[in-house]
Amino acid sequence: MDLKQFQDMEARCTQEDMPRCTAACPIHVDVRAMLSALRKNDFSKAYAVFAQAAPFPGIISRLCDHPCQKFCIRADMDESVAVNALEQACIRLGPKPPVRKGLILRKNNSVAVVGAGISGLTAAFYLARKGYKLSIFDSGNAFGGRLSAFSEETLPRQTLSGDFDVLADLHARARFGVTLGLVGDISLAGLLEKFDAVYLGLGRREVSALALGLELNADKTIRIDPETLGTSKPGVFAGGTHRQPENDLSLISSVADGKAAMISIDRYIQGASLTAARSNIGPQPTRLFTDTGKVAPRPALAAADPAQGYTGAEAVAEAERCLDCECMECVRRCEYLKHYKIAPRMLGRQIFKNRTEVVRRFNRHMNSCSLCRQCEAVCRDDFSMAEICHAAREDIVRQGKMPPSAFGFALQDMKYSDSDVFTLARHEFGRFESRFAFYPGCQLSGSAPWQVAKTYAYLREKISGGVGLMLGCCGVQADWAGEREIFANALQSLRAQWEGLGRPGLILGCPTCYMVFKKNLPEIPVDFLFSLVEKLGLPEVPPGESRTLAVHDSCTTRYEKEIQNSVRSLLGKLGHVVEELENSKEFTGCCGFGGLMQISNAHLAHQVADRRIGESESDYAVYCAMCRDNFANRGKTAYHLLDLIFGDEAGNIAARPPVGYSRRHDNRARLKAALLRDVWGEDAREEPSPIRLLISPEIRALMEDYLIMDADLRSVIAYAERTGNKLQNGANGHFFACCKPAHVTYWAEYSVEGNGYAIHDAYCHRLEIIDAGSACS
Amino acid sequence: MVKMKDEEKLSNGKDLICAKCTVPLKVGPVTFAYVGTTFPVSLFHCPECGLAYVPGALARGSMLDVQMALEDK
């Protein structure tokens, strides 16, 4: 993913877009923050938020034409939030902190503002705060321009003068009773000689007689660039009601003009670009999505005394109607996104930047995403954290900088499944061709090998023309780990196995394999096992009670409607009642295994699983072995569809106990041996009986979390007993020993128990001890 | 760099003997290496053959922190 591709991706996330009210407001008052403060009864803070954007809060709150309310998302449902009335309440009820001028570094440049209306005074206010010397000229005798025409009731004189007092504090000089023009007191040419820039806020005045020397529009108004407010003469800017239609004057647009002119004038004097990065100026559309589906209607609150306005309590109640618009559709559903407490777009940016950082602090963030693509499915614009994380993993691997601890275990696991211990490709016994071949996948084989054997027998019985068998790993672990090359090799050997069997149609027992084949090996025709069972008909099923089962769909087949429907149909045929989880089918979530998050961040993976299994009290029905094992490992009763068809090892329909990493390894090896023996009549080699280990459930759980296999502990004990390199605790007689078969050093605390070894502790580390006495391999 | 805690490094090392040399362990310098970095750590080890004792709390604690910090560089 290059920078351009990343920018295209991040732009799809609308979470950082302004809410509709703020976007519609020409000066972008942070309405959400203001109302949030009100909800906390903090009128002072609410006032400060308003005053942050509104230079003359008293005047603006009274006269604003509040476009925010027209665009409020509630306007489509019941009634807009009464933002304007709430602003007025802030002014009335909020203790007004003095306007903080901050540290003003005075500049030598000076600016003239002609016209003491709201746009000119806004420009003057902000420019003075930037340290410019301000001179304000007006033909009248006070600040305010057309504002003085408002009645005392609408705009009390005290509010007017109170707001404008700040200009004196900022040392802005005012000259009243002066007119601009060829025959007036001042001329534009004269101003330009004395000042570095000029702002014209001339109101609705006729300007053609003033001989300003500026280009005019057909309607005899000054031609003003809508973006910069520049006129035809460099250094002269104009705005305010002068460029508004006579029948639609907007105070807040004039304030916005004053702000825009301030930016232009500052840039003009500094010699900077007038046009660069001005996209946030003025009202604009917003793409921010907010789900209002579950919002109950609640009309706006009318003040008990309309003349007085909202009381404090009324204001708080009205502010509570604000939906605090935000998207967060993906975050709401995803434990991973929630866990990192960073908005998705920002998290994506950090992960993208992480690739090139000296210290890559976001490695763990990058490696903990389940790549389940729920974010992509729920986002209207297909923003995909999975895509960002996956591309970043590939990039880091290419640089040789992937932390070895992130996915090392999974790649070892894959190597094991791809070794002769498990892989197999055979035609049906007694045949030389295969119309179909069953590919159960490594996880189903590791979780419930007898179900694979029974399924294979069922398929041979139901399908004519030869059903071969292919055992192996589809390579998804390498793909998830960002190991493009290893994944490509895995796909190549899959293709070779398939070609070796004469290109049969493959029957896939695992949804992840299904996704891998469909996406990466499109030339191979595939069927998902349960879609086929639906068509072929169920075998005879052991007796069992009818259960209500909540279906957890697999994330890797979230878009496969046929698979989802077949599973539900089969559950019905098996006599069970299907319950739908809130996030199902296309919007399903991860079980905690996807993207290898369980390997790279076991703690978070547990949280993901716990959240998912907490979504319903009912037992779950799943059709991926990893989902089954993951849920079972977290204490949830979850049935794989094959548990409900073939039952447990004894043939009973019952919940199976958890299965750990070591057991899955052993099961794969045993499955191959059993099939060779039972189906093809070949006796497998007798393996020497391994060292017997006694492991408590507590130590077993620890081993799962720290990715320690029984085989690793057997290596430790074998090495220690062979060489005598071990330590002993004098108090309890326990031995401590270590062994480093490859990259990881494993430790066991053990004692001899009968004809086996009791494990009292098991741990491992990747830091290597390089002193001679500790070389334990 | 994360500092390794003494209580993690030493743990119950004083209770241990080297089963081969039948001598109690003593605290001494041991060298750790990972992804191209080496650094000394004081651990209990056998004064005769050098076999070092890495306690479980150390492996699951600050060693893991050090490992991750080194991996991110």
Mean predicted confidence (pLDDT) in A573-585: 97
Q: What is the chain B residue with the closest CA to A731? A: B15
Asked if the structure places residue A650 within a domain, the reply is no
Residues 317-376 of A with CB under 8 A from B: 358-361, 363-364
Answer whether B73 sits within 8 Å of A404, measured CB to CB: no
The pLDDT-based confidence of B2 (bands split at 50, 70, 90) is: low
Residues A122 and A263 placed together within one structural domain of the fold: yes
Reported as a single tens digit per residue, the pLDDT across A282-333 is: 899 999 999 999 999 999 999 999 989 999 999 999 999 999 999 999 999 9
Residues 737-766 of A with CB under 8 A from B: 738, 745, 747, 749, 761, 763-766
Asked if the structure places residue A759 within a domain, the reply is yes
- Both tokens of A238, joined, read 């104009």
Q: Which of A333, A395, A338 is nearest to A366 (CA)?
A: A395
Residues A180 and A312 placed together within one structural domain of the fold: no
Mean predicted confidence (pLDDT) in A21-33: 97
Residues A131 and A260 placed together within one structural domain of the fold: yes
Residues A130 and A256 placed together within one structural domain of the fold: yes
- Both tokens of A126, joined, read 């902000």
Reported as a single tens digit per residue, the pLDDT across A461-473 is: 999 999 999 999 9
Distance of CA A579 to the CA centre of its chain: 28
Asked if the structure places residue A616 within a domain, the reply is yes
Asked if the structure places residue A5 within a domain, the reply is no
Q: What angle do CA A584, A588, A594 make, to 5 degrees?
A: 150
What lies within 8 Å, CB to CB, of A710 at 6+ separation is: A662, A666, A693, A695
Answer whether A765 sits within 8 Å of B72, measured CB to CB: no
Q: What is the chain B residue with the closest CA to A706? A: B60
Asked whether the beta carbons of A86 and A310 are under 8 A apart, the reply is yes
Q: Is A771 on the interface with B (CB under 8 A)?
A: yes
Give the distance from residue A464's alpha carbon to the nearest chain B alpha carbon, in angstroms: 54
A209-219 burial code (b ≥16 CB/10 A, e <16): ebebebeeeee
Which residues of chain B are within 8 Å of residue A766 when distances are taken between CB atoms? 34, 67
Reported as a single tens digit per residue, the pLDDT across A382-393 is: 999 999 999 999
| Most B CBs within 10 Å, among A767, A768, A770, to test the B interface | A767
- Is the pLDDT at A336 greater than 90? The verdict is yes
Residues A312 and A191 placed together within one structural domain of the fold: no
Answer whether B34 sits within 8 Å of A770, measured CB to CB: no
Reported as a single tens digit per residue, the pLDDT across A340-349 is: 988 899 999 9
The pLDDT-based confidence of B4 (bands split at 50, 70, 90) is: confident
- From the list A361, A404, A773, the residue facing B45 with the nearest CB is A773
Mean predicted confidence (pLDDT) in A221-226: 95
Which residues of chain B are within 8 Å of residue A763 when distances are taken between CB atoms? 56, 59-60
Residues 20-59 of B with CB under 8 A from A: 20, 25, 30-35, 38, 45-46, 49-54, 56, 59
Residues A152 and A234 placed together within one structural domain of the fold: yes
Answer whether A724 sits within 8 Å of B19, measured CB to CB: yes
Q: What is the DSSP letter of A414?
A: H
Asked if the structure places residue A541 within a domain, the reply is no
Residues A119 and A239 placed together within one structural domain of the fold: yes
Specify the pLDDT at position A282: 87
Beta strand extents in A28-158 (DSSP E only): 110-114, 133-138
Q: Which of A592, A554, A553 is nearest to A339 (CA)?
A: A592
Q: Say which CATH topology domain B6-71 has.
A: Ubiquitin-like (UB roll) (3.10.20)
Print the domain residue range for A191: 110-270
- Is the pLDDT at B20 greater than 90? The verdict is yes
Q: What is the chain A residue with the closest CA to B16? A: A729
- Is the pLDDT at A693 greater than 90? The verdict is yes
Mean predicted confidence (pLDDT) in A51-58: 93
- Both tokens of A483, joined, read 């190991």
Residues A222 and A119 placed together within one structural domain of the fold: yes
Tell me the C-alpha distance between A57 and A91, whole Å: 7
What is the domain count for chain A? 6
Domain residue spans in chain B?
6-71
Residues A485 and A627 placed together within one structural domain of the fold: no
Which of A36-50, A156-170, A433-447, B42-56 shows the lowest mean pLDDT across its residues? A156-170
Q: Which residue has the tokens 């698979």?
A: A563
Reported as a single tens digit per residue, the pLDDT across A261-293 is: 999 999 999 999 999 988 778 899 999 999 999
The pLDDT-based confidence of A101 (bands split at 50, 70, 90) is: low
Tell me the C-alpha distance between B39 and A262, whole Å: 58
Give the distance from residue A738's alpha carbon to the nearest chain B alpha carbon, in angstroms: 9
Residues A83 and A170 placed together within one structural domain of the fold: no
Specify the pLDDT at position A116: 95
Which residues of chain B are within 8 Å of residue A364 when distances are taken between CB atoms? 68
ipTM score of complex = 0.97
Q: Is B1 on the interface with A (CB under 8 A)?
A: no
Q: Is A98 on the interface with B (CB under 8 A)?
A: no
Q: Identify the CATH number of the domain in which residue A445 sits.
A: 1.20.1050
Residues A147 and A264 placed together within one structural domain of the fold: yes
Reported as a single tens digit per residue, the pLDDT across A620-639 is: 999 999 999 999 999 999 99
Tell me the C-alpha distance between A224 and A243, whole Å: 8
pTM, rounded to two decimals: 0.86
- Is the pLDDT at A99 greater than 70? The verdict is no
Answer whether B68 sits within 8 Å of A405, measured CB to CB: yes
Q: Is A729 exposed, middle or buried (CB count within 10 Å of its CB: 0-12, 13-18, 19+)?
A: middle
- From the list B16, B35, B71, the residue facing A363 with the nearest CB is B71
Helix, strand, coil % (nearest 5) of chain A?
A: 45, 10, 45
Residues A154 and A253 placed together within one structural domain of the fold: yes
Asked whether the beta carbons of A80 and A69 are under 8 A apart, the reply is yes
Other CB atoms within a 10 A radius of the CB of residue A247 amount to: 5
